[in-house]
Amino acid sequence: MVASSSSSSFSIFNLTLLLVFITLCLLPSSTSSKSTPAAPPAAIGNGYRLVSLQESSDGGLLGHLQVNKKNNIYGPDIPNLLLYIKHETDDRLRVHISDAQQQRWEVPYDLLPRDRPATTAAIGKSMINPVNAVSEFSGGELLFSCISNPFSFAVKRKSNGQTLFNSTADKSAPYNSLVFKDQYLEISTSLPSDASLYGLGENSQPHGIKLYPNDPYTLWTTDQSAINLNMDLYGSHPVYMDLRNVGGEAYAHGVLLLNSNGMDVFYTGNSLTYKVIGGVLDFYFFAGPSPLGVVDQYTQLIGRPAPMPYWSLGFHQCRWGYHNLSVVEDVVENYNKANIPLDVIWNDDDHMDGHKDFTLNPNAYPRPKLLEFLNKIHARGMKYIVINDPGIGVNSSYGSYQRGIAKDVFIKYEGKPFLAQVWPGAVNFPDFLNPATVAWWGDEVRRFHELVPIDGLWIDMNEASNFCSGLCTMPKGQCPTGTGPGWICCLDCKNITKTKWDDPPYKINASGTHVPIGYKTIATSAVHYNGVREYDAHSIYGFSHAVATHKALQGLEGKRPFILSRSTFVGSGRYTAHWTGDNQGTWNDIKYSISTMLNFGIFGIPMVGSDICGFYPQPTEELCNRWIELGAFYPFSRDHANYYSPRQELYQWDTVATSARNALGMRYKLLPYLYTLTYEAHTTGAPIARPLFFSFPNIKELYGLSTQFLLGESLMVSPVLDQGRTNVSAIFPPGTWYSLFNPSEAIVAKQLQTVVLDAPLHVINVHLYQNTILPMQRGGMISKEARTTPFTLIVTFPAGATDAKASGKLYLDNDELPEMTLGNGQSTYVDFSATASKDVVKVWSDVEESKFALDKGWVIEKITVLGLSGVGGNFAIEVEGFGDFGCFEGGGGRNEA
């Protein structure tokens, strides 16, 4: 008998039915698909047995687990565990396992809002004894089942019986049954060998977007340059998407282990094992079944991506090493002279006084001249963003430090602010888990904004990065304070190994070499607010930094914040954009940038990009040409270079300037489309940049494709990624694809097809898929001007179509408002539709909240229709419904297929 109710709880059943459903279900003991059994490992634990199960007070299930036999490998087993199972939605199942007797560390519920697991039983529901039984719990699309001894559980897709997760460890399994110790948790799942997995970041993956068997996947936020492959980098995202093709039909699901402690994840191709050094096992399963559905369900839990201001989609220029304001002024002027679009100019820490946050260098960046410069660029619509690191310089004459000490905002070690070293020299780190710190930080941001009217903040070094390790004191000599590189530790430091927090029994593969987990960061025995150990909270430091910064910026003028953060965690996308850190100007790094960008879309952080042309060392001229062609289509598009690298602004080479004008010229025409994608991301979680399998999930050959990507559903970018190439081998899914730069050229693929495309130095191939309506504007040198120009609609039908449909969408709003939403009188949303039938093409729109667009005077000046040779060239365009949006000023029905 199988429980098959669509209810997410048993509250509608009486107790007799509850007992039947829980105790009488059957499941095979293992569904592993391993072809070659591996030798079993030495047992780290002996598993648990389920001794009771009952309905919880919130309609889930509560179970109690007891350890079968203790051992002391990596410490003693926790004897009693509490199991909680809840179908939170029709598409989301939660399985939470923790200590039954003592509260353990979890990601704070006020930092990442979610339901708390129930700990009490439903009134009147008696205990039941499921010893040696197999139990099932059905709800929506997912089915939870478990075996009582040794305890294991599985998650199935109810619609087709597919097993998505199965922790059963049979005798041939290369992993253990459930292990739960204070500082070592282990659980595994078997996997079919043809499952394609994505996620588990942040890392630079040399094999592309798919997880590669036996590569290391370690999650522990680390200031480790992105040039280091297969290592734990700046972010921690313990989530993966599993894509399987069954009989030509794709099924995707997602798995999140919500845990901020350090972990190694071992993926063999046939199994996946988590080895975690603390916290709880808090699993969320997302049913999909489409890739977009998985990301939608995931971001529904962790928070939708932040709304982005329109100008943030323009081009950004930065460099560490703009030594004074005149250099910045010169950069802006040279972009203008070169006719290369530029929206945002950035300062790394060159503007600071001795690298100290919230300060200005009075000589290099005198405030009166800086304000004059900002008034000038703000009048044009340009923006200004500066860097801000969490480390606050220990300096008795430094106001931010003085106020921080007075408010008691810093992380402690043995009762004193923990001493570290970053760019200002000796620093203390704010504790963003402390509400007093969040208020102090907001006040510091407000004070700085009054000093310099910045338009956003770039928060860096927030893994947190420390140039020293261990317990440090001030030396008799002087640490560097704003002169020289400053990354050589000059504090007097000694290793800390006396606590279990600094030297845990299991060593994760930190930095790829099993270094101590406190290496070059905050000592893991340091203490946050309410006694929280850095050991537990380390990987959420950048996340908490972003939350505090978002609150601070939003509190300034009520405008939509823009934040760029290096360190991220589950839920960071609700507050911040991300760049992929310190990359190199190499042909390999340009390839890696695509995989990392696509992974962050899955992580719910769609506003992402890499340093165009590479952060260091000097890129070649050819590479920079190719990189700006690609980078013009990153969601976040910024050129950024190292202090010690030669200048690489896009106007430095005539050839690069030409490529920039071509590629960025197209980006600025596409801004309304990109902005609509940010709205879609904010409302549904959908990535802006996506792997091709998001739109063509049934085509297995696309599952590992990492050299092309989509913007939205139908705009495909196929960059040159190899030196010396003047063509590119691109894969085209079936259908008609129109060249965006020359719509009279089209690729008609009858089936999946590889086509060699011409790609001279200044050309990037971008193609628009059939059945699409793409809104564009005329473009311009700055987004403020570009967004005031008339619209063009490009309507694409399959080549030779006589009966076809196309659709598109457009979102417009006042991008200074904090929310990106309809119904406030400051936004307009348009659904475009088109049909081709017989000799007539009809185009119409369904407009919501038309007043905003009408007041702005936006009009559609041209409609271009592609693909209609099948109607013999005799057709008309009937424009319907545009009266609510603007007016139709001209027709462009071209037969260009």
Residue among 847, 809, 312, 873 at smallest CA distance from 606: 312
Q: Residue 511 to residues 170, 185, 421, 611: CA-CA distances in angstroms?
A: 33, 21, 19, 22
Q: How many CB atoms lie within 10 A of CB 874?
A: 10
- Assigned token pair, 33: 């698909």
The answer to whether 168 touches 152, Cβ cutoff 8 Å, is yes
Distance CA 814, CA 831 (A): 19
Q: How many CB atoms lie within 10 A of CB 51?
A: 17
* 763, amino acid identity: V
Q: Are strands 344-347 and 315-317 parallel, antiparallel or unpaired?
A: parallel
The answer to whether 757 touches 718, Cβ cutoff 8 Å, is yes
Three-state secondary-structure class, residue 866 = strand
Among the listed residues 136, 460, 680, 896, the single catalytic one is 460
In sequence order, the β-bridge partners of residue 111 are none
Distance CA 800, CA 869 (A): 5
In sequence order, the β-bridge partners of residue 151 are 148
- Please state at what angle helix 291-302 crosses helix 671-684, rounded to 10 degrees: 70
Backbone angles phi, psi at 467, to 5 degrees: -75, -10
Q: Are strands 163-166 and 185-190 parallel, antiparallel or unpaired?
A: unpaired
Three-state SS annotation for 388-424: ECCCEECCCCCHHHHHHHHHCCECEECCEECCEEECC
CA angle 335, 339, 345 (to 5 degrees): 30
Query: Active-site residue 460, yes or no?
Result: yes
- Assigned token pair, 350: 């060159």
The answer to whether 466 touches 403, Cβ cutoff 8 Å, is no
Distance CA 101, CA 523 (A): 28
Q: Which residues contact 662 (CB under 8 A, 6 or more apart)?
A: 629, 741, 762, 763, 764
Q: Which residues contact 448 (CB under 8 A, 6 or more apart)?
A: 357, 358, 454
Distance CA 357, CA 49 (A): 54
- Assigned token pair, 859: 């009009």
Q: Are strands 425-428 and 392-393 parallel, antiparallel or unpaired?
A: antiparallel
Query: Active-site residue 582, yes or no?
Result: yes
Distance CA 717, CA 731 (A): 11
Among the listed residues 223, 232, 349, 463, the single catalytic one is 463
CA 446 to chain CA mean position, Å:
28
CA 576 to chain CA mean position, Å:
9
* 520, amino acid identity: K
- Assigned token pair, 699: 């085509």
Q: What is the CA radius of gyration of the chain?
A: 28
Q: How many CB atoms lie within 10 A of CB 895?
A: 16
Among the listed residues 77, 182, 186, 582, the single catalytic one is 582
- Assigned token pair, 846: 């369904």
Backbone angles phi, psi at 334, to 5 degrees: -70, -35
Helix (H) or strand (E) holding 283: strand 281-286
Query: Active-site residue 557, yes or no?
Result: no
Q: Phi-psi region for residue 132, left (φ > 0), alpha (ψ -120 to 50) or beta? A: left
Q: Which residues contact 385 (CB under 8 A, 6 or more apart)?
A: 316, 344, 345, 346, 347, 454, 455, 456, 457, 458, 562, 564
Helix (H) or strand (E) holding 494: strand 492-494
Residue given tokens 């928060």 in the structure block: 459
The residues annotated with a catalytic role in the active site are 460, 463, 582
